Amino acid sequence: RRDMYHFGVRVSIIEPGFFKTAVTSLDTIEASLQQLWSQLAPETRQSYGEDFFPQCECQGPGASQGYPAELGL
């Protein structure tokens, strides 16, 4: 759009902000991650360590508020 400005072409882009939808639902995201984790080959899960997924940012305190748990908000 910037390269067209010199020709008198103006472009406006309206993008949505962060709206609560199924795509941004933490429950949906956690369920999807849990499913993916459970489908990993055992050797892959072992290479990450069995404690990796439960300690993931989306798990634990503060997760339902949408901020990393280490912020302690």
Backbone dihedral angles phi then psi of residue 46, each to the nearest 5 degrees: -65, -35
Q: pLDDT tens for residues 16-66?
A: 666 677 777 788 888 888 899 999 999 998 998 888 888 776 554 445 444
Question: Is 68 inside any structural domain?
Answer: no
Question: Is 27 inside any structural domain?
Answer: yes
Radius of gyration of the chain (CA): 20
Read off the pTM.
0.49
What is the rounded CA–CA span in Å between residue 32 and residue 56? 13
Assess contact for 56 and 33: CB atoms under 8 A. yes
* Residue ranges making up the domain that contains 39: 15-48
Domain count, the chain: 1
